[in-house]
Amino acid sequence: MDLSPASPVPLLLDCDPGHDDMFAILLAAAHPAVDLLAVTTVAGNGPLEAVTLNARKICTLAGLDGTVVAAGADRALRGDRRTAPDIHGETGLDGAPLPEPAVPLADEDAVTLMARLLAESDRPVTIAATGPLTNVATLLERHPEVKERIERIVFMGGSAGRGNTTPLAEFNVHTDPEAADRVLRSGLPLLMCGLDVTHQALATPEIFDRLHAIGGLLPATLGGLLRFFAGAYEKVYDMPAPPVHDPVAIAAIIEPAVVRLVDAPVAVELAGEHTRGATVVDLHGVTGAEPNVQVALDLDADRFWDLMLDAIRTLTDRGALGGA
């Protein structure tokens, strides 16, 4: 059954690759329901230079030579720099050799590029954010005129329950809480794919087997990278299978039924001594605040992995490096 909409969703993907961001790029680039306008980068899993290089290398590996890649913020709005070498390694994408990038870096910075593409698009554009929200918050502040060109912002970040960077804060929101706060207060339609749902996107041994079975350099390289990521999750969180967070946000755009959503008021804690960067999700309406976010709480993990693995197969068949 083909559930793709008649015309693809114009999409800007802002990310910090990052193992799971890499899967988000591949899904967005391969699926016919998405028209990937550009990949923009933000410091997060690694320093800005590293994650930008990784984005270009991933696109090269996957045969996505025409992808527009632009670099954005190298630190959070408040000036902090936080990276995640314990999870993603020193390069931000450790685990397998990647080709030198054939995909160029755009002359424009990420925010300028996003503003221009939004202004030029003949249809409202969806923004998917799978890193800290620094670029998106800066876009909204510097270019308020493009707000009406944004269909919605779908972000991986936050949690209705516990965190992964502090007991209550998730990495992307914790890395730039002020940026998340601006986005949450923007009044734009928002869809949050937090840890509640991304911890259901587990790369189990069966997923490794299915990836390997595709055959070719792209799946083999992804398998090596994913093994590194799995090792980090086992070491740091004692999780036997790693959650592949970021492509869940892309899957929710491609096929809305892949997630179960509830409307809820969501705020971010900016001041708490122990809770800075935590998302406060009022699932039961106890604050009386108006819902500002669609919060994803459940994932159809089987369907999610079918989408993800089909995307990798498509790219391999299309002629990723070493593919058909």
For the annotated catalytic residues, the residue numbers are: 245
What is the closest distance, in whole angstroms, from the C-beta atom of residue 77 to Ca ion in the complex?
17
123 near 35, Cβ under 8 Å? no
What is the closest distance, in whole angstroms, from the C-beta atom of residue 19 to ligand BDR in the complex?
7
What is the closest distance, in whole angstroms, from the C-beta atom of residue 309 to ligand BDR in the complex?
19
The residue of the chain with the least Cβ separation from ligand BDR equals: 171
Residue 170 near which of Ca ion, ligand BDR, none (CB within 5-8 Å, type-dependent): ligand BDR
Q: How many CB atoms lie within 10 A of CB 19?
A: 28
Cα 230 versus chain centre, distance:
18
Residue 297 CB contacts under 8 Å (≥ 6 apart), including other chains: 160, 196, 197, 259, 260, 261, 262
Q: In the stretch 126-165, what mask flags binding to Ca ion with x, by CB under 5 A? A: ----xx----------------------------------
Residues found near ligand BDR in the complex (CB under 6 A):
18, 20-21, 45, 84, 87, 130-131, 156, 164, 170-172, 245-246
Q: How many residues does the chain have?
A: 324
Residue 164 near which of ligand BDR, Ca ion, none (CB within 5-8 Å, type-dependent): ligand BDR
Backbone angles phi, psi at 136, to 5 degrees: -65, -45
- Residue 158 corresponds to which amino acid? G
Specify the pairing of strand 266-268 against strand 279-281. antiparallel
List the one residue out of 270, 269, 259 whose CA is nearest residue 295.
259
Q: Which is nearer to ligand BDR, 72 or 131 (CB)?
A: 131
Q: Which is nearer to ligand BDR, 37 or 51 (CB)?
A: 51
Residue 176 near which of Ca ion, ligand BDR, none (CB within 5-8 Å, type-dependent): none
Helices (H), the chain: 19-30, 48-61, 85-88, 110-120, 134-142, 171-175, 177-184, 195-198, 205-214, 217-237, 247-254, 301-318
Residue 84 near which of ligand BDR, Ca ion, none (CB within 5-8 Å, type-dependent): ligand BDR
Please tell me whether residue 21 binds Ca ion under the rule CB under 5 A.
yes
Residue 253, judged by CB atoms within 10 A of its CB (0-12, 13-18, 19+), counts as buried
What is the closest distance, in whole angstroms, from the C-beta atom of residue 199 to ligand BDR in the complex?
9
23 near 308, Cβ under 8 Å? yes
Q: Which is nearer to ligand BDR, 171 or 305 (CB)?
A: 171
Please tell me whether residue 277 binds Ca ion under the rule CB under 5 A.
no
Cα 131 versus chain centre, distance:
6
Please tell me whether residue 316 binds Ca ion under the rule CB under 5 A.
no
Please tell me whether residue 18 binds Ca ion under the rule CB under 5 A.
yes
What is the closest distance, in whole angstroms, from the C-beta atom of residue 170 to ligand BDR in the complex?
5
Tokens of 183: 């986005």
Contacting positions for Ca ion (CB under 5 A)? 16, 18, 21, 130-131, 246
